[in-house]
Amino acid sequence: MLNGIAGNPVLFNENGDAPGRYEIYQYQIRNRTAEYKIIGHWTDQLHLNVRTMQWPGGVRRVPSSVCSQACKAGERKKTVKGIPCCWHCERCDGYQYQADTFSCKMCRFDLRPNANHTGCDAIPVVKLEWSSPWAVIPVLIAVAGIGATLFVVVTFVRHNDTPIVKASGRELSYVLLTGIFLCYANTFLMISTPDVGVCSMRRVFLGLGMSISYAALLTKTNRIYRIFERGGVSVSAPRLISPASQLVITFALAAVQLLGVCVWFGVDPSRAVVIDYEDQRTSDPLMARGVLKCDISDLSLICLLGYSMLLMVTCTVYAIKTRGVPETFNEAKPIGFTMYTTCIIWLAFIPIFFGTSQSTEKV
């Protein structure tokens, strides 16, 4: 075996080539001075002095050599096309959760993803609380309205036999005040926690108060119209204008509302309350809520009030017909003014109600 000038043995491989001998340098900066430093050599195999090597960021240990880093919790691997061993980490957003390493799935309609999107939790269920401003303000208005109604009732009772009370049609006035009282009392039903009993009472009383009120006003205006219409052609009084007859007509008109509610109960019995998860399904899952409510759709609610609207429109027609009564018989004019304003309010209410019921921002 021969030795070379450097004292190393001279060797040849099977191809007749001499084996390579290399020194490995690394470009390093020490004390703001750049230099190449030997960190190893190659003679048949690699020899490295790892402790003398430098890495970006001042890291002393060898960085991991991987195509992609491991994904965090709630992130799925999206493989790179043509490079199956490499991937991008894609977060499961919205109402999705990490089903496995490579896929995200939607949570069930009554669930929302947890904080790190690794699973689904139940959506909290809320209801209208009595302490909420949306409940306090209507309750205060209802209490004031009930107080005013009771004050009028007490005044009528104290002066029940006076000419003014008798001339105003005291029997129908009591019925009208009863309907107004029910309208205000419905506020407490609408705020109460929904259950089978509360939902059933809502069906019965929500439209009943308005039906009684409009039935009494319709009977009043119809009576005034028939008196002055008949007075132009005959001196005899028209039929069914006595207080007892007026009460029978009013209760018959209100009974139609009760009959409709009974039919509704027969066709669609009041079941347990429902939880609406779509009403408060916000873009941020953490803000999503389920709303506890009665099983009464918006369309059913309008149908429930439909008969009251029919009575209101009919009463408005008679109010228009009696607008020319003598000034001394001025009861028809306040009724007419009331019906005109009520019609305007209802015409504004219906499109607003249905418009907000289809809005994603409904609260």
Comparing C-alpha atoms, which of 46, 52, 51, 26 is closest to residue 37?
26
Average pLDDT rounded to a whole number, residues 349-362: 54
Average pLDDT rounded to a whole number, residues 232-247: 71
Predicted local confidence at residue 179, as pLDDT: 92
Tens of pLDDT, residue by residue over 7-40, are 666 677 777 777 777 889 988 887 778 888 888 8
Average pLDDT rounded to a whole number, residues 159-173: 82
CA angle 155, 161, 167 (to 5 degrees): 90
Tens of pLDDT, residue by residue over 107-156, are 999 999 998 898 999 999 888 888 888 889 989 999 999 999 999 999 98
360 has a pLDDT exceeding 50: no
Residue 48 has, within 13 A of its CA and on its CB side, a CA count of 8
How many residues are listed for the chain in this entry?
363
362 has a pLDDT exceeding 50: no
The single-letter code of the amino acid at 173 is S
359 has a pLDDT exceeding 60: no
Predicted local confidence at residue 2, as pLDDT: 60
Comparing C-alpha atoms, which of 16, 313, 21, 338 is closest to residue 180?
338
